[in-house]
Structure 1
Amino acid sequence: MTPGSVSKDREALQAQCSDRQMEPTLSPRFITYVRDHLMDRGMDPSDLFLSCGLDIDRCDEFDKPLPVPTVCRLLEGAARCSDNSTLGLDMARSYHYEASSLLILAVVSASNVAEGIRCLCRYDRFVDTAIETRFDFDEHHAEFAHRTLANQGVEARQLNEYLSAFLVQALGTATRRQMPIIEASFTHADAGNRAALEAFFNAPVRFGTAENMLRFDSAFLRERFYTSHSLLHDVLTQALRTYFGSKHSGQGIVDILCRELIRVGGDEAVTLERIAERLAMSPRTLRRRLADEGYSFQEVKKMAREKRAKYYLSQTNMPLSEIAFELGYSELSAFSRAFRSWVGQTPQAYREHSATLLRP
């Protein structure tokens, strides 16, 4: 093989990797949760799963992950066929803990609420790549927020309500206490079930917010888990680190790293060490896995910036100058030159082309 052919192969590989869809996904365990909920109510879910293109028996947590629209379609379909507008809440109330994933077992085996939520935030990015989480607190109040990465037009109401309600239910089960919620909020519009939601959360509920969020008394973070099991927690978190930090997980490290770099934003100062810590792996492991896929950390940073630019241009109405600033460029002209070198089009031309593809 000549040096020229090596260079061309390398360029082709980089172009292929740069064009990966990296579609955000959710755990196949959602199949189990919906199936069990419907069967508990004497319903045969086979036709619903068939209409969603899902195999009702393929729900092991290491089966192929599910696209967000598929899970949302499954949940909304289950709500319709069971004539239950509060399906998400009811699924959370009747959750089968014997069917828990490794992650949920790791969460409830932690020592207290704060450690359980930290465990969820740290590892859910591997299990559910479509869910972004945020956990902040001060001496008075705490906030846990989540946002589902779904394209416009995907109905995620049941999913949003299930995820918030499940956390409340799980923490209440582990602490034997009702979570002292101050306010709950959701990204979707009010669907006429405000009263049911406020009764469940025992707090006011807002709709149409930027993220799904639970705001609660920070004193609750110190509540111990009666389900705590330090040995089990250590074993499970080590298993999660080992599996998701290995190439056998089926998740390419370039895709994982791109998603994480997109999450932290356009901070040029972000380091491999910082990202490795967020991914719960050592810097040495991250470097080795990148080398296995033929990439350096700096190359993936550039790739993540390109993907983030494409997302802003195709999925938002942000002005080009604002996009440039978000990506770390001091001038729009510098962003335009960089984008043209990546894609072969100006940012405006790319935006216009993307808009034509989205039209019915």
Structure 2
Amino acid sequence: MDVPTHSVQDAQAYDVPILPTRYVTHFLRFMEQYGIRPPALLEGTGLDASELETSEEGMTMNELLILLRHASELSEDERLPFEFGKQLDINAHGLVGAAVLWQNDYFRLVEMIIEYERVCLPIHDLRLTLKDETVQIQLHDIWDLGSLRSFMIRIYMGSIYELSRHICRDMLLEFDTPTNLTPEQWQTAAPEAVIRFNAGAACATLHPAQHTASSIGQELSSFLARHRSRQDLKASDDHSSVTERVRRQILDDPGLNCTLERIAQNLQMTPRSLRRHLQTEDCSFRDLRNEIRCHYADRYLADTRMPLSTIAYKLGFSDQASFTRAYRSWTGRTPGQTRRRI
């Protein structure tokens, strides 16, 4: 796979720093979870991962194209860029403070972040249109990405999906590129959306749910509690540890998708192999998941007014009674007792 070539008049633009380094370092850490180390991704860019941590200069388009080429060639699962995009939530954009300010209008926050992406991720232009109750976000090319365009579009779509899924009753994500995966395989990456490939344009069509101001505030309170939990339980930098890789997966989604089978699939292992690796590291999937769910539950109970049934759903329990039994086994008290103590 070759990096696109550019005319002489374009060359100068492709050598101007455009991408903030925090997105690059975030991407390097993400790929490392899948066994792809920074030196392999940065080869040929002249950049060093440790220098990127402190640099404020940014990455040029030419350097980004080399990085994307390596990532595309080394990735075994074409859903990987979409999964990375899903991690570009409010926290990744550094806009947690803005989330607090916009607690009464979640959709305005999403709109603001998309505008923010246009400035901080100037690879594609994002054009918003609103008609009746339908919101459409269409991606338009700014740069010649060649065969790497599909990789970048999937990053954008993953980010749009994660930022919008909390406020949508349904969502359609259309890619103007092909895929080798089945609809069922893509459904595991975006269970709350319909995904189509070979469409006429790269476009997300959203139908926002009818939220009251209180329910919007509740959803943002939930997000902020989840953010604080992830900070409290921040995984170590030991990406070689299977336990830490599993921990990161659970931290990202402790809900219904948090099963041994699903996480094994995400890590490209069999459930049996994953269980064996965890045993070798003196860890069990059940204990790790319970530890994280307990911490999330404490945060939700302390920082939000969410009903217990909603907390139960967010933590992957089939009903409130199951959550209450589990929480009592973790802490020796009921969720209601914990909330009354605060």
Instruction: Name the TM-score, length of structure 1 as normaliser.
Output: 0.47
Q: Is the radius of gyration larger for structure 1 or structure 2?
A: 1
TM-score (norm 2): 0.49
